[in-house]
Amino acid sequence: MALIRTTLRIEQNLKKEAERMALEQGLTLQYIFNEALRNAVTQQNEKKLKTKQKIKFISKNMGSMPDTLTRDFYYDDPKF
């Protein structure tokens, strides 16, 4: 995977916690941040997939339709 350089402004306590994790696990800070960002992006994509609703079309046989469809076929005469 190709790496690029970028600058981020992050919360100081978040960086300290990530540094602590990296030391404890014998990993680099770069690895910790890449993994955290990858997990966040993956989680967000999975969440989007779950919220997409599939449309289900239901059809029923309603018999044959008349050849001449007019408004009168569907609606009664208005009663004033």
66: number of Cβ within 10 Å? 8
pLDDT score recorded for residue 17: 96
pLDDT in tens, 5-31: 999 899 999 999 999 999 999 999 999
Q: How confident is the model at residue 66 (pLDDT cuts 50, 70, 90)?
A: low
Distance between CA 17 and CA 24 in Å, rounded?
A: 11
* Average pLDDT, rounded, for the chain: 86
Q: pTM for this structure?
A: 0.57
